[in-house]
Amino acid sequence: MIVHCAIGIVPSSVVLTGFQVMSRVFLTWAVTHSVREVQSEDSVLLFVAAWTVTEIIRYSFYTFSLLNHLPYLIKWARYTFFIVLYPMGVSGELLTIYAALPHVQKMGLYSVTLPNKYNFSFDYHAFLILVMISYIPLFPQLYFHMIRQRKKVLGHAGDYSKVE
């Protein structure tokens, strides 16, 4: 995905795509895989379903765009479904991290305590809380960016009945 952006196959920001890929790897590996107790949470299904539908729409959009035959329905889906899918995915992600917190704290997962030969400490539990807090400024920025993109690409409500 990042390589596709870097070489220009898809017109997305390498930085934003990199951030998205890394956050998905983090949530999949460092939270869901590492804390087995959360794997059966409904929140995992929530974010995985949102990610899956999002990627099906995104790559259908990119594929048809590359073929120079983009059906309006796919363009509309690309710039409309995020309205529900983005909050759904973020909710699933946050609920999963939240469900992992007590287990991470109890196990001391990925935490490094003092004293040690590097004179360094890291509290993974606190880190996860900071990750959750980071959603507060980041989510609205990214969500409203997509709202602006939607308006730019699809235009006003009266234009939604167009067929290409």
Catalytic residue numbers? Answer: 86, 93
- Residue 156's pLDDT is 66
Taking only the tens place, the pLDDT of each residue in 57-67 is 999 999 999 99
**Is the bond preceding residue 140 a cis peptide, omega within 30 degrees?**
no
- Residue 117's pLDDT is 94
pLDDT, greater one: 162 or 70: 70
Helix, strand, coil % over all residues of the chain, rounded to 5? 75, 0, 25
Helix ranges, 36-123 (H): 42-66, 72-78, 82-107
Answer yes or no: is pLDDT of 89 > 80: yes
Q: What is the DSSP letter of 9?
A: S
d(CA 1, CA 63): 13
Taking only the tens place, the pLDDT of each residue in 5-52 is 788 777 778 888 888 889 999 999 999 999 999 999 999 999 999 999
Taking only the tens place, the pLDDT of each residue in 95-142 is 999 999 999 999 999 999 999 999 999 999 999 999 999 999 999 998
- Residue 13's pLDDT is 80
